[in-house]
Amino acid sequence: MDFKYSQEINSGFYETFGLDEGIPLRIHKDRHLEVRGALRAQRDWTKHVRNVDDYKGGLGDPFTFICVTVPECLPERLELVSYANEFAFLYDDKMESFDLKKDFEKETTKMLDAFGDGALDRRVNTKSGPEKRLQAQMLSEMMAVDQVRAMTSMKAWAKFVQLASRTRSLPFETLEEYVPSRVIDAGELIWFGTLTFGMALTIPDDEYEMCMEMARPGYAALGLTNDLFSWEKERHDSVEAGLDYVFNAIWVIMKERSATEAEAKRICRSEIKKHVLTFKKIVEETRHNACLSQDLRTYLEAVLYSISGNLVWSIYCPRYREF
């Protein structure tokens, strides 16, 4: 990958707890664009959905989410990508703040209305919910920048919402059963849309399934990393919602193996390292493979930098540190 918009951070300036397996951390040079997009999303959410109180999203100091997870995002797309990502964080918090036993189905229906069959329709009317209005606004802005990749991204995001709406309905008994669903819930599809739009990548149709398969260990690492560092927040949110389980690998490991919380975290860290090493090998094997398109190879390398970026952001971000 050619690096034009980011710089590598000296590893002595941040902690990884050994989970990065040597993947460098890179950060976008235009942090102000991410901040602008995130704050605009928060203002729009307050205006159209509900007031943002005591909310912690993708912003942080010294690391902001998009700048370290998509370090080679095209600068002219960074604000919009940040806006869309903040929308996802806001929605995630909205879902976790409800008594999900009563309201999960209702709130899921609202998002399916926004990202379902009408995901590519920018028209809204008096019956359109606030989520649909914001989704239509995002789509319009993305289409104005790059119509083809905007459509690809929105289709991927719509499929993600449809699949993810089913992953949290029941607890999982084993980690083996949980991880494939966590890959979906961690957003392999929404991140596919984010990377391809943000970096102007096109994965050929005949390489799409192979691309998703190759990237899957990377998304397993991303999902489990999120579980490890968001565990306290998600446990708190589940208790507040009246649930008797937590959609998190730590909870699954504790139940499956009768493990303590500390033991479950140790096992989770081991699983993260395993998936990171597997994915690193895939990236190295494909980096110079001329039989694969350049955009596919760039995409896989972009996922690799998302792993280190997500890890470091998760360690330092206000979103998880207060719990």
How many Å apart are CA 235 and CA 221, to the nearest integer? 20
- pLDDT for position 169: 64
pTM for this predicted structure:
0.91
Which residue ranges make up each domain of the chain? 6-321
Digit-coded pLDDT (tens) for 106-121:
555 555 555 555 555 5
- The pairs formed by 136-142 with CB atoms below 8 angstroms and a separation of 24 or more are 137/44, 138/80, 138/83, 138/84, 138/87, 141/80, 141/83, 142/80, 142/84, 142/197
Element (H, E) at 8: strand 6-8
Q: For domain 6-321, give the CATH number.
A: 1.10.600.10
Digit-coded pLDDT (tens) for 184-212:
876 788 899 999 999 999 999 999 999 99
* Maximum mean pLDDT: which of 74-78, 234-238, 246-250: 74-78
How many Å apart are CA 166 and CA 237, to the nearest integer? 19
**What is the percentage of the chain residues whose pLDDT exceeds 70?**
86
Does residue 91 carry a pLDDT above 80?
A: no
Does residue 219 carry a pLDDT above 70?
A: yes
Digit-coded pLDDT (tens) for 150-167:
998 888 887 877 776 666
